[in-house]
Structure 1
């Protein structure tokens, strides 16, 4: 099957399974909001800053773009139900987006025009959410390195995210912006004392 054919098949499956995918995502989201240590910790810290992230503004939807989720300061968190492999993937995605919510409240980020803000937010979210832990990289993404794996994953994911922003010219520009903020943003583990996982 061609790449276009594979994508058409994925789209048809996403549409066919939309109701079931969203229901499963919502059930798992509600479970994680009650029982996940990282989700509860981030939720509590967001609440201390005057925000409120809960089931009323974490939306499970079918997405047409191939991504796990997104954060919007005006609407909340969107989880791409058709992209969630399992509850662990959902937990990492929720944690990633909740770090963005925390950063938005704590640091008053300019998400639209300031690529340095976006780069820092992506570095922190990828580092603190668990999505770059060794097992995820090794078994899911085929990254076989044993040293500096976490840092390389965080850097790679931050560059990809910055590259996708309209204000970014090209990959070299994205890498330059990430490198400019890397040291201070990678070391900043707030609200955690250290990288949680």
Structure 2
């Protein structure tokens, strides 16, 4: 008669190195990892491995939810519909056929490509409100590309201006999101500081930008005119 399972066999797999992360998709292993995160026992590398495994496991469900919410927003969100109409008037077309929900490996919300359309990182979307802000941000980029003929490859002033406008007009820098999601608790100049911070980060990530000081210099050079420019809106609504 075979021996019963030994204690060693019944235990969860050992944590990888010293990261605190345990491989496995079963319920017990998942809660082991969550407990390690909550108690501060998992390293940054372990947390990243946990997130990657979760994204792999939930990819189909994340993309399906993203697509359903995308289609709803295209039909019923006043902001998204208004931007879509204005992009169409400039000869562009953004709808469900070229706004893609995909799993992203980089930690970002989405991106715009003049030849491809908009990619939404489904695994990074927290809720429908986050998706609406992300779609609005990328659609402002699309509007700017058509309206102002942006040079995306080498003109950092163009990049800085459209990032300022996208962060300002999309709603991602409204007071409630900064206060409750990002821990930015200032009561004055909060919107402007958020827009400036996000624009500098985006410009800094571009290949032709030397360093953070360079990014900040470029953003400052175009700040006044680009922050005041609310086209196609009459004012900042979100």
TM-score between the two structures when normalised by the length of structure 1: 1.00
Which residue of 24, 31, 46 corresponds with 2:87? 46
Distance 1:86 1:112 in 2: 32
Q: Aligned ranges for residues 19-98 of structure 1 at < 5 Å?
A: 19-98=60-139
**Larger of the two Rg values belongs to structure:** 2
Which residue of 146, 149, 161 corresponds with 2:190? 149
SS in 1 for 2:86: helix
RMSD of equivalent CA atoms: 0.3
Unpaired segments of 5 or more residues in structure 2?
1-41
Distance 1:110 1:130 in 2: 25
Find out whether 1:139 has 2:139 as its counterpart: no
Distance 2:159 2:181 in 1: 25
Distance 2:208 2:142 in 1: 21
SS in 2 for 1:7: helix
Deviation digits for residues 136-192 of structure 1 (CA, Å, limit 9, x no counterpart): 000000000000000000000000000000110100000000000000000000000
Which residue of 178, 181, 192 corresponds with 2:233? 192
Find out whether 1:117 has 2:158 as its counterpart: yes
Higher relative contact order (CA 8 A, sep 6+): 1
Number of positions where the alignment pairs a residue of Structure 1 with one of Structure 2: 197
Structure 1 outlier segments of 4+, above 2 Å: none
